[in-house]
Amino acid sequence: MQHNISAFTEPQGSCPGYVSVNRQPDGTYSISVRSTGEQSPSTINLTPQQLDRIGQDIYFLFHNGSGG
């Protein structure tokens, strides 16, 4: 069974945009996104190392860079 790690859904619209990060049963991860007004999401699969790198990049942006 897929385990949701984090998700955000726009608060408005009949077909809101969203992003969802999930752990798959086989130990890989996936990120799914859907643009506002679209019907179907797009999903990419990642290894734990790839997701860790994305997490490090985002952490750096908000703690050491110009974000947040």
Residue 1 and residue 19: Cα distance in Å, rounded? Answer: 19
pLDDT at 42 (0 to 100): 98
Sign of CA dihedral 57, 68, 3, 17: negative
**66 backbone dihedrals φ, ψ, rounded to 5°:** -100, 0
Total domains in the chain come to 1
Domain assignment present for residue 7? The answer is: yes
pLDDT at 13 (0 to 100): 81
Domain assignment present for residue 68? The answer is: no
pLDDT at 68 (0 to 100): 56
Beta bridge partners of 16: none
Element (H, E) at 22: strand 18-23
- CA distances from residue 9 to 22, 29, 55, 58 in whole angstroms, order as listed: 14, 19, 19, 19
Residue 56 belongs to domain spanning: 3-63
* pLDDT (tens place) for every residue of the chain, 68 residues total: 999 999 999 998 889 999 999 999 999 999 999 999 999 999 999 999 999 999 999 999 988 866 65
